[in-house]
Amino acid sequence: MKFKTPVFSALRGKLGHTIDSGTLCFRTYKNFGLQVIKNPARKVDPAGKQWLHRHQLYCWSLHWNFLTPEQKAEYENLGAAAGLSGYDYYIKEKCDPQYLYVHPVAFTWTEKKYPSTLHYPGESVLMSDDSVYEKHMYIKFPLAMISSNLDAVAASLSFFYYEEAGWDADDRRVDCRSILEDWDWRTLTWNNAPPVDPDVVSYLLMPGQMEWFTFDVFPALLKAIADPHAWFGFHIRFKDLEPTQGSFAGIRATLPHDNDYWPFLKLKMW
């Protein structure tokens, strides 16, 4: 069963549509589709009801629009056996009630070589350790809209490394820091980039191409929950630079794809 309300019409039908309606979230019933609820921190019901934050639902609803007809037909068949539409079955399957997956509201990059250039993410956002073409990534999540009563016990930030140019970026150290002032991806350039915390939240070594890499960002999340309106996302860059012929790493961006390779913030709720 599908609910055809203005809220769900917005969720289902408009790519890139931002929903600014506070801390609403959703739950899925086995036979009654999706229903708006109020408490984002409430744990899973023992009877099997799954509690979905609205940003989590929005993220997966966009993915649904980009499934192939064959994939959608498969979910329709699975849903029919459970008394659900294919769409609602897909949403239930994707949501683990122990975790909250938050989709970014902004993800872009800046480049030293072209300090006044705006970059509009398509399939990828770029990061480079070339000293001339040095590139940094910026990502922001809507924690101010979902932090009420949020009680997470762990947090991770994940990206999918799916293309490269120049030297191999494998095993190159990448640092993640907190951003200290607000920014807008529609105006962000190297010249006007916000300051970042000098202390590293987390770091890792880049994996092989076509693999995920994940930062532990729980310390930064605790600060964000305490004061969400003074939290402005994460800055990610290679720690060391190469004087010439450095790495150009392409990170999967927020355009929907058949495969679920978007960057995301994953919060463990209990």
Q: How far is Cα 205 from Cα 225, in angstroms, rounded to an integer?
A: 28
The residues spanned by each domain of the chain are: 6-97, 102-268
Q: Does pLDDT of 206 surpass 50?
A: yes
* pLDDT on residue 255: 64
Instruction: Tabulate helix, strand, coil % of the chain (nearest 5).
Output: 20, 30, 50
pLDDT confidence bin for 257, thresholds 50/70/90: low
Pseudo-torsion of CA 22, 231, 129, 155, nearest 10°? -70
* pLDDT on residue 127: 95
The CATH code of domain 102-268 reads 2.60.120
Q: Does pLDDT of 236 surpass 60?
A: yes
Q: Does pLDDT of 23 surpass 80?
A: no
pLDDT confidence bin for 102, thresholds 50/70/90: confident
Tell me, what amino acid is at 169? Answer: A
Q: How far is Cα 44 from Cα 116, in angstroms, rounded to an integer?
A: 48
Contact call for residues 140 and 232 (beta carbons, < 8 A)? yes
User: Can you give the pTM of this predicted structure?
Assistant: 0.70
CA 222 to chain centre: 18
Contact call for residues 40 and 151 (beta carbons, < 8 A)? no
Query: Which of the two residues, 156 and 253, has the higher pLDDT score?
Result: 156
The residue with tokens 């969720």 is 11
Average pLDDT, integer, range 188-207 = 96
pLDDT confidence bin for 95, thresholds 50/70/90: low
* Mean pLDDT across the chain: 75
Contact call for residues 155 and 218 (beta carbons, < 8 A)? yes
